[in-house]
C-alpha cells in the first residue's frame, strides 16, 4: 500500500477532530491525553490502522498541548508533563499576563513538536540504536539524574531532596512483584488495607489530588475569592503580543525540545521528567535564574517545548522496540494489536507507508493544534472570568470523574484523590515541595526495577560506575547537578541574608 493511498479527506479530518478533542481533554482538569486515547481506542478497530492512528496521534498531540491551559490559568496542570508550566505560567496569569503566557506556551509547543518530529524522521534508526545501548544501569542513572535536578527547583535544597525521596517511598507501597525482583509479598501496607493497596496508589488520582483538590482546599480556607474581572482580561487581551519576547530564546527552545525528544526515547521515563529536565536546564543556563518560579517567560518556553518534544521521541522505543515511551504511547500499542500488527524492530521496514502516514499525521496534528489554540486563545483565556464559586465545584466534579474513571470505576481512586488532596494542602503549610514529591512518586517504581535488575544482571554495585562511558557521563551530570544546586542554594541564602 502506497503512502498516498493512506492519505484521504477522512484521514485529515480524523487528525483535526482528534487534535480538538485532545485539547479539550488536556484543558479540563482531571482529563488527560491518556484518558482521551483510552476512550477513543475502541473506535480504531472500525477505522483501520492508518485512520485509527490519525485519530489517536491527534488526541496525543492535542492532549499534551492542551494541558498548558489550566496550568497557566488555574495553576493546575492538565497533564503530568505540564507540572513545570504552572511554576511560571500561573504567576504570569495572576499579574494579568495570562493570554501572553498562553501564546508563549502554544508557540513553544509547536516548536517542540516540530523539532521532535524532524529528529524522529531523520534520525530514528540512530536514536533507536542509541536507546538500545541503555541497560538497566543507564536507565537507573538517568532517573537518578532526573531526581537530583529537582533540587534546582526547590526553595530549600534539603527539603527538596526530602520531598523527592518521600515521593519515592510512597510510590513503593504495594505488592513487591516477583517480575521486578521481589518476593511477591506486601510491603509498606497497613494491616487491613491489602485489598485496596495491592497495586499501590494510581498516579492520576494522586496528581489530581495534589494539584487540584489541594488548591481548592487552600482557596476555601481563606474564603473563595471573586473571579478575575472582565476588564482585566480585556486589558490583557488588548496588550499586543510580540514575537520579540522570543528574542534570545532560540537556544532555550532548541535545547528543551531536544531534551524532551531524548527523554521520550528512553522507555518509561515519561513527560514529567522531560519537562522538568528542560526547565531545570533553562534555569541553570539562564542569566537570571532568580526570575524562574515568579513568572519568567523562558520557563514556560522550556516546559512546553520540552513536553511536546516528548511526542516524537516517545514513538522511537514504541516502534523500534515495542516498548512505550510513556503511558499514552502504551495505549497506542492497543491500536496496533486491534489490527493484528506487532510493533518492534521490523515494523518501520515492513510498513514504510504506515510509518510515513504516522509522520504526516503528527505534522498535521501540530499544525492544527497551533491554529486552533492560537486563534481561539481569547475565548479560552476568559475561563478565568468565571466566578470561583461556580468554577471550583465544576473542577471538583471533573477531578472526581477523572479519578473514578481512569481505572474503569474504582471507588478507592476517589479516596486516593481525597487523601492526597489533604496531603497537598498540609504540605504547603509544612513547606514541603510538591514538585519533587510528585516526580519522585512517578519515577520511584522504575528506579527500583532498574536498580534491582542491574544487581541481578551484574551482581556488584561497582557496575553503576564502570558499566560504560554513558554511565560515567551520567555520574558527571549527577555530580554537577548536585554541586550546582548547593551553590545556588548558598547564593540564595547569602542574597537573603544581605537583604
- Per-residue pLDDT tens digits of the chain, which is 499 residues long: 455 666 788 889 999 999 988 887 777 665 667 767 766 776 777 787 788 888 889 988 888 888 888 788 777 776 767 778 888 888 888 777 777 888 888 998 898 889 988 888 877 666 556 656 677 887 788 777 767 766 555 667 777 778 888 888 888 887 777 666 666 677 777 776 667 777 778 776 777 777 667 777 776 776 544 444 444 444 444 456 667 777 778 888 888 888 888 877 765 555 667 777 888 888 877 777 777 877 788 888 888 888 888 888 778 767 776 666 666 776 677 677 766 776 765 677 677 788 888 888 999 999 999 998 888 777 665 654 556 676 677 767 767 776 776 666 778 888 888 888 898 888 878 878 776 787 778 777 778 888 888 887 777 777 787 777 878 888 888 888 778 777 766 766 666 555 5
Question: Residue 480: exposed, middle, or buried by beta-carbon count in 10 A (0-12, 13-18, 19+)?
Answer: middle
Spatial CA neighbour of 405 closest among 204, 139, 234, 135: 204
Spatial CA neighbour of 423 closest among 432, 414, 412: 432
pLDDT of amino acid 13: 92
Q: C-alpha cell of 74?
A: 488555574
* Cα Rg of the chain, angstroms: 22
Q: In whole angstroms, what is the distance from residue 49 CA to residue 17 CA? A: 17
Ramachandran assignment for 266, one of left (phi > 0), alpha (psi -120 to 50 degrees), beta (any other) = beta
Q: In whole angstroms, what is the distance from residue 39 CA to residue 23 CA? A: 14
What is the distance of C-alpha 409 from the center of its chain?
Answer: 24
Global pTM? 0.64
DSSP 8-state code for residue 295:
S
Q: In whole angstroms, what is the distance from residue 158 CA to residue 160 CA? A: 5
Q: 462: domain range? A: 3-264+271-498
pLDDT of amino acid 261: 83
Question: Residue 211: exposed, middle, or buried by beta-carbon count in 10 A (0-12, 13-18, 19+)?
Answer: buried
pLDDT of amino acid 384: 47
pLDDT of amino acid 370: 92
pLDDT of amino acid 229: 46
Q: In whole angstroms, what is the distance from residue 114 CA to residue 304 CA? A: 12
Spatial CA neighbour of 468 closest among 130, 128, 127, 147: 130
For residues 83-119, b (16+ Cβ closer than 10 Å) or e, as one string? bbbbbbbbbbbeeebbbbbbbbbbbbbbbbbbbbbeb
Q: In whole angstroms, what is the distance from residue 223 CA to residue 139 CA? A: 46
Q: Are 315 and 266 in contact (CB under 8 A)?
A: no
Tally of domains within the chain: 1
Amino acid at each position: 500500500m502506497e503512502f498516498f493511498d493512506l492519505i484521504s479527506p477522512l484521514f485529515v479530518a480524523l487528525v483535526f477532530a482528534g487534535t480538538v478533542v485532545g485539547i479539550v481533554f488536556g484543558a479540563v482538569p482531571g482529563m488527560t491525553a491518556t484518558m482521551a486515547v483510552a476512550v477513543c481506542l475502541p473506535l480504531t478497530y472500525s477505522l483501520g490502522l492508518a485512520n485509527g492512528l490519525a485519530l489517536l496521534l491527534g488526541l496525543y498531540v492535542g492532549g499534551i498541548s492542551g494541558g498548558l491551559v489550566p496550568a497557566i490559568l488555574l495553576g493546575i496542570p492538565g497533564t503530568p508533563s505540564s507540572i513545570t508550566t504552572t511554576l511560571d505560567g500561573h504567576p504570569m496569569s495572576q499579574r494579568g499576563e495570562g493570554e501572553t503566557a498562553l501564546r508563549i506556551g502554544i508557540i513553544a509547543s509547536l516548536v517542540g513538536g516540530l523539532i521532535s518530529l524532524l529528529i524522529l524522521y531523520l534520525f530514528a534508526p540512530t536514536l533507536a540504536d542509541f536507546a538500545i545501548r541503555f541497560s538497566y544501569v543507564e536507565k537507573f542513572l538517568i532517573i537518578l539524574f532526573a531526581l537530583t535536578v529537582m533540587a534546582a527547583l526547590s526553595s530549600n535544597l534539603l527539603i527538596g531532596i526530602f520531598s523527592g525521596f518521600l515521593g519515592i517511598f510512597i510510590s513503593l507501597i504495594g505488592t513487591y512483584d516477583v517480575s521486578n525482583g521481589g518476593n511477591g509479598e506486601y510491603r509498606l501496607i497497613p494491616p487491613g488495607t491489602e485489598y485496596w493497596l495491592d497495586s499501590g496508589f494510581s498516579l492520576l488520582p494522586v496528581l489530581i489530588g495534589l494539584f487540584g483538590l489541594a488548591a481548592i482546599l487552600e482557596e476555601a480556607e481563606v474564603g473563595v475569592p471573586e473571579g478575575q474581572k472582565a476588564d482585566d482580561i480585556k486589558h490583557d487581551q488588548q496588550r499586543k503580543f510580540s514575537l520579540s519576547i522570543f528574542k534570545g530564546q532560540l537556544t532555550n527552545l532548541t535545547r528543551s525540545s531536544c531534551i524532551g525528544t531524548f527523554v521520550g526515547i528512553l522507555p518509561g521515563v515519561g513527560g514529567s521528567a522531560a519537562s522538568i529536565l528542560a526547565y531545570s536546564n533553562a534555569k541553570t543556563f539562564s542569566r537570571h535564574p532568580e526570575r524562574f518560579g515568579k513568572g519568567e517567560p523562558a520557563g514556560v518556553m522550556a516546559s512546553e517545548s520540552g513536553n511536546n518534544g516528548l511526542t516524537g521521541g516517545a514513538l522511537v522505543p514504541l516502534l523500534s522496540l515495542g516498548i512505550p515511551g510513556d503511558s499514552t504511547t502504551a495505549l497506542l500499542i492497543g491500536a496496533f494489536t486491534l489490527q493484528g500488527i506487532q510493533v518492534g524492530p521490523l515494523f518501520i521496514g515492513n510498513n514504510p507507508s504506515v510509518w510515513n502516514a504516522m509522520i504526516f499525521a503528527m505534522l498535521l496534528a501540530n499544525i492544527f493544534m497551533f491554529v486552533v489554540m492560537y486563534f481561539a486563545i481569547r475565548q479560552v483565556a476568559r475561563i478565568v472570568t468565571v466566578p470561583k464559586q461556580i468554577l471550583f465545584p465544576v473542577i471538583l466534579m471533573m477531578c472526581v470523574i477523572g479519578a473514578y474513571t481512569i481505572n474503569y470505576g474504582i471507588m478507592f481512586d476517589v479516596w486516593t484523590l481525597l487523601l492526597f488532596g489533604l496531603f497537598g494542602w498540609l504540605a504547603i503549610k509544612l513547606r514541603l515541595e510538591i514538585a519533587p514529591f510528585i516526580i519522585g512518586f512517578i519515577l520511584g517504581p522504575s528506579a527500583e526495577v532498574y536498580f534491582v535488575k542491574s544487581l541481578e544482571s551484574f551482581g556488584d554495585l561497582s557496575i553503576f560506575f564502570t558499566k560504560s562511558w554513558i554511565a560515567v557521563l551520567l555520574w558527571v551530570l549527577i555530580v554537577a547537578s548536585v554541586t550546582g544546586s548547593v551553590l545556588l542554594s548558598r547564593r540564595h541564602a547569602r542574597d537573603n541574608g544581605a537583604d
